[in-house]
Amino acid sequence: MERINLKEKEVFKKEGRGMANVIDEPYLLINQVCLEPGQNVPEHQANSNVTLQVVSGEGTVSIGKEKVKAGPGNLLRVPLNSPMSIQNESPERMVFLVIKTPHPDAVKKDSPEDKNREGRFVNLINFPELKPGKDREFKEWFRHSSELFAKHQGFISRTLLKSTEGMDRYAAVVEHESKETFMAMHLSDERQMLFKKVETLIEGMPEPDFYEVVASYRK
């Protein structure tokens, strides 16, 4: 038997939500999310069947056009692909569990749409060489920026690739549901700020190329 102390897994951040993984198994994913007063989880689509369980505090949960106040002891069910958001409008901290069944990776694997999915918009970014000693900072920038970009509507994935030629050269593959959702993210103030930061880590400017998926197959 495994006993998990949720109090020890509380992570609060001054900017953005705090999150800690509680369970990560093939058909079950449980994360604990912590919101300071005024913080929120922006609207996004549920990528699995989701159950929200409030541990402490109180917040407003929006599922589609429905809104409900949720406090300790409440369970809320969110169907797959439903738009959802959570807002802590109270003066107290809010902690809740996000229980996904099955694991989103299992949903993706079992989905026939992933076998041959057309219409996705893909951005391939080739980064120039990194400045000396900036490898670790660059990877941290990519992780942090990906977390922020993932909050944008239409985001599918963002993958970092490293050259196999022995050089510190990187590329990134960004997938969005459409050109429109990608451009909304691309033109955001947040994106401009993040790419000004990465320019201090690289020798030159990133080179983007844009594609549309016309056919794909995943085993």
Based on the fold, state whether residues 130 and 186 are members of the same structural domain: yes
Last residue of a domain, one of 86, 109, 132: 109
Range of the domain at 202: 116-212
Place of tokens 């509680």: 22
User: Tell me, what amino acid is at 27?
Assistant: Y
Is residue 198 included in any domain, yes or no?
Answer: yes
Give the CA diameter of the chain: 54
Residue 126 covered by a domain:
yes
Q: 112 pLDDT exceeds 60? A: no
Within 10 angstroms of residue 122's Cβ, the number of other Cβ atoms is 16
In this structure, the answer to whether residues 198 and 127 fall within a common structural domain is yes
Question: 2 in a domain, yes or no?
Answer: no
Enclosing H/E stretch for 171: strand 170-176
For residue 59, the domain's CATH number is: 2.60.120.10
| 165 compared with 141, residue with greater pLDDT | 141
Domain termination residue (choose one: 109, 126, 155): 109
Buried b (16+ CB within 10 A) or exposed e, 11-45: eeeeebbbbeebeeeeeebbbbbbbbeebbbeebe
pLDDT digits (tens, 9 = 90+) for 47-91: 888 999 999 999 999 998 899 999 998 899 998 889 999 999 999
User: Which of 109, 138, 172 is the last residue in one of the domains?
Assistant: 109
Same domain, 97 and 154: no
